[in-house]
Structure 1
Amino acid sequence: MKKIFKIPLEIDGKNWSLNKIYAGVHWTVRRKDKNNIRLLVRSIIGMKKPFKNPVSIKMAFNSGLDVSNHGYIFKLIEDALVKCGVIQNDSYKYVKCNIMTLQKAFKGVIVEVEELKEE
């Protein structure tokens, strides 16, 4: 089973780049980012029942950033998926694979959570 969510988010290097974290952003700014993304994701997804089996998570970003610079926003969205009940936890027991890619079809992030077969 696969669930696809479209998160409308304007991604720029100033606000969502991994380089922002390397620059030493204060923890209160990171907490605000986390809360804002959590609210945005919950407004799109709502509350769900978690997948029973491990999953892979693919996020396709529409931005001018390098693919790897989306690591910060990927983690924030992944944590929001836990809070919304889509996945039980973001540990390796529940998330076996993370994929980041770019796309131009949607202004924001296309999130695909796919349930894997039991091992």
Structure 2
Amino acid sequence: MIQVFVPYLGPSLNSIYAGVHWATRKKHADAAHRATQIAVRGMAPLTHPVRLTLQPVLGKGKRRLDCSNYGYTLKLIEDGLVRSGLLKDDTPDYVVSVQTLAPIRDPKRGSGVWVMIQEVAEGAA
């Protein structure tokens, strides 16, 4: 299993539903993709389907949200894994499951997301 910390935590999904301009969403995506690419730099592309487990980390001053409210951040990081070349795609053929764990506090580390990537044998998904 691969475990990597991505130092990016975007806005809540509720705030996106409230109506965020496309240019702002693009800035979020660019920042998340950049942080993910840096976090996985040097890793060889994965060849089997994967299960993703993501756990938000809350730095100083960040409030806890319900797990599903981190969905926007998690999707941006998943897309960043594809853009970085670590994952070939994020379709069900390549990502068989995505699990979100409850957020944890770590004021020393700062905000971001722990990403756990487990390769699964083809057909065992």
AA paired with 1:21? I
**Number of corresponding residues:** 114
Pairing partner for 2:51 from 46, 56, 63: 56
Q: What does 1:70-109 align with in structure 2 at a 5 Å threshold?
A: 70-104=70-104, 106=106, 107=110, 108-109=112-113
The Cα shift of 1:70 comes to 0.6
1:39 aligns with 2:38: no
Deviation readout 1:74-116 (Å, 9 max, x if unpaired): 0000000001111110000100000001242644211001100
Structure-1-length-normalised TM-score: 0.87
1:112 aligns with 2:110: no
Percentage of pairs with the same residue? 33
Following TM superposition, where does structure 1 have runs of at least 4 consecutive aligned residues deviating by more than 6 angstroms?
none
Structure-2-length-normalised TM-score: 0.83
Q: State the superposition RMSD in angstroms.
A: 1.6
Unaligned runs of 5+ in 2: 59-63
Is 2:67–2:103's contact at 8 Å kept on the other side of the alignment? no
